[in-house]
Amino acid sequence: MAKKYGMIIDLHRCVGCGACDLACKSENNTPEGIHWAFHKTETYGVFPKVTYKHTPTLCNHCEDAPCVRVCPTHAMHKDEDGFVVHDPSICIGCKSCMLADPYGVIFYNKEHAFLDYATDTSSVVKGATFSKKELSDKAKAPFPNFNAARGAEGYEAVRKKGAVEKCTFCNHRVKAGLAPACVVACPADARIFGDMNDEKSKIAALLRENKPTVLLPEKGTKPKVYYIRNYNA
């Protein structure tokens, strides 16, 4: 049976620390203002009876992905493992995928990512702190915390101006037998990733034992990111 990868986020375990967000940025070289892994917060009720809800968000890698359907160049596509991925080299920046995406998890690069690290020679305190260019030069990289391994599998490590980007479920790590960076970084083990078609896997067991929900089920996209329990369950 073919593998069917998915992710569970246990909202009872999640403490909203943001470790997943940071791990994603470090792993995938995402520019400022672009968050493959992020969250939404909601507050209900009237003081003093107030309920706060923190929901981590990322690409849902939908089985019926509207972003894939509308992409005119097939830059947005599904790979052999069923991940919804993007090829920046053939992206024309039309934003059709962003308009079709009901979850708001696809981002557009208005400028060439990290270009300021190649050009900005100003420093906060002259003679005492490094400029962005000096930091980049010393790191011998496009920017100080650059992850060169991210581009080793063919995906542009630093995205160009005018292209979109989104979470890939860290498909480069999964192909190497590793879990996505956000899963590894979670201190509360709130994220569970695996093959849902493997009945012996942890994710399959949790899906059987709980009543999972998905974001915007009325859209009919069949997301593969599931949420179980809640903070006060």
Task: Show pLDDT as tens, one digit a residue, over the chain (233 residues).
Answer: 789 999 999 999 999 999 999 999 999 999 989 999 999 888 889 988 888 889 999 999 999 999 999 999 999 999 989 999 999 889 999 999 999 999 999 999 998 888 888 888 998 788 778 898 998 998 899 988 899 888 777 788 888 899 999 999 999 999 999 999 999 999 999 999 999 999 999 999 999 999 999 999 999 999 999 999 987 64
Domain for residue 140, yes or no? no
Question: 73 is in which domain, residue-wise?
Answer: 5-113+159-228
Q: What domain count does the chain have? A: 1
Alpha carbon dihedral 172, 174, 176, 180, in 10-degree steps, equals 80
Q: What is the CATH number of the domain that holds 183?
A: 3.30.70.20
Contact status, residue 195 vs residue 3, Cβ threshold 8 Å: yes
pLDDT at res. 51: 84
Residue 113: count of CB within 10 angstroms of its CB: 23
Domain for residue 147, yes or no? no
Domain for residue 222, yes or no? yes
**DSSP secondary structure letters along 153-173:** TSS-SSPPTT-EE---TTHHH
Residue 196: count of CB within 10 angstroms of its CB: 19
Write the CA distances from 146 to 89, 113, 143, integer angstroms.
20, 12, 6
pLDDT at res. 232: 64
Contact status, residue 5 vs residue 84, Cβ threshold 8 Å: no
Q: 154 — alpha (psi -120 to 50), left (phi > 0) or beta? A: left
Domain for residue 153, yes or no? no
Domain for residue 35, yes or no? yes
- pTM beyond 0.85: the answer is yes
Instruction: With H, G, I as helix, E, B as strand and everything else as coil, classify residue 142.
Output: coil
Tokens 């972003």 belong to 67
pLDDT at res. 145: 85
How many CA atoms does the CB half-sphere of 168 hold within 13 Å? 29
Domain for residue 209, yes or no? yes
Domain for residue 197, yes or no? yes
Residue 39: count of CB within 10 angstroms of its CB: 15
Contact status, residue 76 vs residue 86, Cβ threshold 8 Å: yes
